[in-house]
Structure 1
Amino acid sequence: MSTLTAHENRLLFFGNCIACHGEFGKKVAPHLSEVKGYYMMAYPKKEDFVEQMATWVFRPNEKTAKLPEAIEKYKLMPYLSIDLDTLKQIATYIYEHDDFGGLE
């Protein structure tokens, strides 16, 4: 996995996640604070959190979903053409930050 700066990870996050998972999104997905809350409880260690989140987002699957109620409400997350290393950078940003509202 390449090492990006915190600013670069932030740009990756806001460029790829916030439209659906932010408070100003179209309500087509759960807010990222809800998703992060689950993952933090299930995977408190950073390495586990990053691996689990990035792997699932890389290949969304209803059978392995951590928030099945979100799938019932919003449907399965679509496949994104983002490589696994980039998703790990984004998951690292999510683990380390809580500013999911919008760019400041």
Structure 2
Amino acid sequence: MKKLFITLFVVELLLSSCTYSKKDEKLIEKDSSIASLTENEGLKLMQQNCYACHSVVSKSHDEIIAPPMAAVKRRYTMSYPNKKEFVEAFTNWVLDPIEENALMRGAVSNFKVMPKQPFNKADIKKIAAYIFDNEVETPEWFEAHFKNEHTKGMGNGNGKGRGRVNGNQNF
């Protein structure tokens, strides 16, 4: 009788632990779907709010009014390779774009400072997180332009930069 009781207890314990792992699996799936929704939301927000100026469909550098998001990502990841710092710096810039805080001095020289926009901080954080975590669309001409402008010796973007910021190239 004692063996039967112990056996039933062990079987019950095993069954309850299997149920628990199923709950964990559902929680993981839910977390993944939330992350996926947030990622999709970041992409959608970027397309709606950023691509009007940071176009990916322009035919050349001469047709743009702001650097492509691929250039922004490249520059910000140079100074902020950690996601939390990247999102914070990107968000701070978008919410208060002033020349003194610009990382992309070549872009400011070419396009002027980004105009202040009435963006929601939470939305900008979603955009920044999306940019950090994903490959962003790149105009066809971008890599050739980047290579041409940033390998002229000084590495300051079109030769107009003001040196280095935080030990990184200034473009």
The corresponding residue for 2:76 is 39
Q: What is the deviation of 1:44?
A: 0.4
Q: What is the deviation of 1:48?
A: 0.3
- How high is the sequence identity, in percent, across the aligned residues? 35
For 1:1-104, what aligned pairs fall within 5 Å after superposition?
5-25=38-58, 26-101=63-138
Q: Is the 8 A contact 2:43 2:127 kept in 1?
A: yes
Q: What is the deviation of 1:99?
A: 2.9
After TM superposition, what 4+ stretches of structure 1 lie above 3 angstroms from structure 2?
none
Could you tell me how far apart the structure 1 residues matched to 2:138 and 2:49 are?
A: 13
Gaps of 5+ in 1: none
Gaps of 5+ in 2: 1-34, 140-171
Could you tell me how far apart the structure 2 residues matched to 1:97 and 1:18 are?
A: 16
Q: What TM-score do you get using the length of structure 2 for normalisation?
A: 0.54
Could you tell me how far apart the structure 2 residues matched to 1:84 and 1:71 are?
A: 22
Q: Decide which structure has the larger Cα Rg and report it.
A: 2
Letter in 2 for 1:76: V
Number of residues paired by the alignment? 100
Letter in 1 for 2:57: F
Question: Higher RCO, 1 or 2 (CA under 8 Å, sep at least 6)?
Answer: 1
What is the RMSD of the two structures over their aligned residues, measured on CA atoms? 1.8
What SS does the aligned partner of 1:54 have? helix
Q: What TM-score do you get using the length of structure 1 for normalisation?
A: 0.87
Q: Is the 8 A contact 1:9 1:93 kept in 2?
A: yes
Q: Is the 8 A contact 2:41 2:126 kept in 1?
A: no
